[in-house]
Structures are given as C-alpha cells and as structure tokens.
C-alpha cells in the first residue's frame, strides 16, 4: 500500500465514530478514560464485550458482529490503515456493535478493567517462531495472565490459526499450566463439530491459506 493511500485511510479513520486511536501516553500515564466504561460510553449499551486481538483488516470482527448482534465487538490492531476497511464497512452498514481500537496489544490490561471483557478472539496471529520472539507470541504466559485479568471469571479465549507451530505451542502451554481446554481441533473444515463462528467467517488471508490446502486449527480455552 502506498504512503498516500495510508495517509488517506488514517485521515478517514479520524472521522469514524467507531474508531478510537489513543496515544501510548494517554494509556500509560493516567487511568484511561474508557477503562471500565467501554459498553456504556463507547458502545452506548450494556451488552457483552468481545475483543479481536491483531484484527488486521477487521473482517472477523465485522463478521462476528453480524452473526451476534447481541454482543459488542472491538477489533484491536496497531496498524490503523489495515482496519480502515472493517471500520468503513461497519459505518456504511450502520453497525453499532463493532468498533476498532488502534493500540499495542500488550497494553490491554491498562485499557480494560478487571472482569470487563467476556471473550477474546486471536485470529491468524504471527506465530513468532524464533525463540527470541517468544515474548511476542499472543498466547505466551504473560499474555494469558493479562487476558485473565480483564476477562470475566467464565470468559474464554479463541485461537484460530493456520500455523501448526502456534497451535502446538499453545496446546502444550495450556496443558502444562493447567488451563481449561474447551475445544481443540487441528483441521476445522474436516470436523463436523466445528462451531459456526469458526467455519462461517473467512478472512482474505484465510481464503489464501485454504487455496494452498493449509489446515486451519482452532482452540477454545479458559485461563485458570
């Protein structure tokens, strides 16, 4: 994507009421103004909150919001030019239960209050295969503890990925640390028990993976 296109998208993001782009200082230097108030002040309702971490173009967040109008969905990514597409679609289709937040995922425990979030989706994250990149894996121990802090006691995390490495790493970690695995599947399109929200939404990149005959894996778990 050219820099002119990016600038145009950044500008348009600023006009969308469903996009919020705080500075790092706004989050780290004082209590973030929406912390504990996301449903009431951002979504203007009291419905459950579901996060998609590393939402990319925002296709999954928008797809889930269409599938579950009784829930609020918030896509989070540091690259605003990417989720511009999802934000624009939501504005054009007058969807009130989906929004986008431009920030770094490691700050989520400063952005959301304890027990504020009902569910988390992690879709096709970078598996960060090199050992020195372990700290950036979105299912490492440190991230799991952040999720536990902001999730309700019965809240769940969903991981959907084409990376067998990420799937195996996460399963091993969950077993090793004693977390509750609710569903694990290493080929969702070959399994008749795959949930509708797992097989019913395909992102641009997922369609590419499927064309390459890559298996799509899924884990649903609860952090203990």
Residues 6+ apart with CB under 8 A from 158: 119, 120, 121, 122, 198, 218, 219, 220
Question: What's the whole-model pTM score?
Answer: 0.95
- The confidence score (pLDDT) of residue 94 equals 96
| Residues labelled catalytic | 126
Q: What is the pLDDT of residue 109?
A: 97
Q: What is the pLDDT of residues 89-104, one digit of tens each?
A: 999 999 999 999 999 9
Query: Is pLDDT of 1 > 70?
Result: no
Average pLDDT of the segment spanning 125-140:
95
Question: How would residue 6 be classed by pLDDT, with cut points 50, 70 and 90?
Answer: confident
What confidence tens digit (pLDDT) does each residue in 147-177 have? 999 999 999 999 999 999 999 999 999 999 9
Q: Please check the confidence at residue 3 and state whether its pLDDT lies above 80.
A: no
Q: Taking residues 18-25, what's their average pLDDT?
A: 96
Alpha-carbon distance 121 to 130, whole Å?
Answer: 23
pLDDT for the residue numbered 40: 97
Query: pLDDT tier at 15 (50, 70, 90 boundaries)?
Result: confident
Q: Is the pLDDT of residue 12 over 90?
A: no
Structure tokens that stand for 172 in this block: 């091993």
Judge contact between 125 and 53, C-beta under 8 A: yes
The CATH code belonging to domain 37-222 is 3.40.50.150
The pLDDT mean for the chain works out to 95
Number of Cβ within 10 Å of residue 59's Cβ equals 22
Gap between the Cα atoms of 123 and 120, Å rounded: 10
> pLDDT of 167-221, one tens digit each?
999 999 999 999 999 999 999 999 989 999 999 999 988 999 999 999 999 999 9
Domain extent listing, the chain: 37-222
């Amino acid at each position: 994507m050219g820099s002119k296109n990016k600038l145009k998208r950044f500008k348009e993001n600023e006009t969308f009421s469903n996009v919020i782009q705080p500075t790092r200082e706004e989050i780290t230097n004082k209590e973030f103004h929406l912390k504990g108030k996301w449903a009431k002040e951002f979504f203007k309702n009291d419905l459950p909150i579901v996060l998609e971490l590393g939402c990319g173009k925002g296709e999954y967040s928008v797809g889930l919001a269409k599938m579950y109008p009784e829930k609020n969905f918030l896509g989070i990514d540091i690259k605003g030019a990417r989720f511009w597409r999802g934000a624009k679609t939501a504005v054009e289709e007058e969807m009130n239960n989906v929004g986008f937040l431009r920030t770094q995922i490691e700050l989520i425990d400063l952005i959301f209050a304890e027990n504020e979030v009902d569910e988390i989706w992690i879709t096709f994250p970078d598996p960060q295969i090199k050992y020195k990149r372990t700290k950036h894996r979105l299912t490492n121990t440190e991230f799991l503890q952040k999720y536990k802090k902001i999730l309700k006691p019965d809240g769940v995390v969903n991981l959907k990925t084409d990376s067998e490495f990420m799937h195996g790493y996460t399963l091993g970690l969950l077993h090793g640390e004693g977390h509750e695995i609710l569903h694990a599947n290493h080929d969702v399109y070959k399994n008749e028990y795959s949930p509708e929200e797992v097989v019913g939404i395909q992102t641009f990149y997922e369609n590419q993976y499927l064309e390459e005959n890559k298996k799509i894996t899924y884990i649903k778990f609860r952090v203990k």
